[in-house]
Amino acid sequence: MPSLQKKPARAARRNNRRRDRRTEYHTVVTIVAAGDAGLQSYKAWLVDISAGGALLLCAGRVPSRKLYLQILLPKLAKRFVEADVVNSRSQTGLKIARRQPDRRLLGVRFAGYVADPDLLEELRLVVSRT
């Protein structure tokens, strides 16, 4: 008879696709994504981070799978990181009111820093409007 304790560990490994060790760290993240009205910014909360990606908690859906992130961390706060959404799921929690806002967990993979000066200027302009 197979051991029941192996199943949770196997399931946890399957859900953890990151190659690098995750570090739980909570800070504010500004997401810039392309929507129907062009680039729009959204606020999110960093849940954890690794060298290759991060887990973000945000209110509602983000309209694009390609994101630009401004993470409030030393040496990163003024830079934008390009990232791809690899996983998106609803986050359920304590229901306080009848109408519960849609909260989403986004698993993102980092693609690199934004270096294009024109794109950087556009991203900074979008963030400054919020």
State residue 12's pLDDT score.
Answer: 44
Please say whether the beta carbons of 86 and 107 come within 8 A.
yes
| Mean pLDDT rounded to a whole number for the chain | 83
Closest among 110, 62, 67 to 89, alpha carbons compared: 62
- Which residues, in sequence order, are CB contacts of 81 under 8 Å at separation 6+? 68, 69, 70, 71, 110, 111, 112, 113, 114
pLDDT reading at 29 higher than 60: yes
The verdict on residue 91 lying in a domain is: yes
The verdict on residue 1 lying in a domain is: no
State residue 103's pLDDT score.
Answer: 87
Q: Which domain holds residue 112?
A: 22-128
CATH of the domain at 37: 2.30.110.10
The tally of domains found in the chain comes to: 1
Higher pLDDT, 96 or 52: 52
Please say whether the beta carbons of 119 and 75 come within 8 A.
no
The verdict on residue 15 lying in a domain is: no
The verdict on residue 44 lying in a domain is: yes
pLDDT in tens, 73-92: 887 778 999 999 999 988 77
Q: Over range 95-116, report the average pLDDT.
A: 82
The verdict on residue 12 lying in a domain is: no
Q: Which of 22-31, 64-73, 99-108 has the lowest mean pLDDT?
A: 99-108
pLDDT reading at 93 higher than 70: no
The verdict on residue 14 lying in a domain is: no
pLDDT reading at 125 higher than 80: yes
pLDDT in tens, 30-48: 999 998 889 999 999 999 9
In the structure encoding, which two tokens stand for residue 24, read together? 């739980």
Parallel, antiparallel or unpaired: strands 81-90 and 103-113: antiparallel
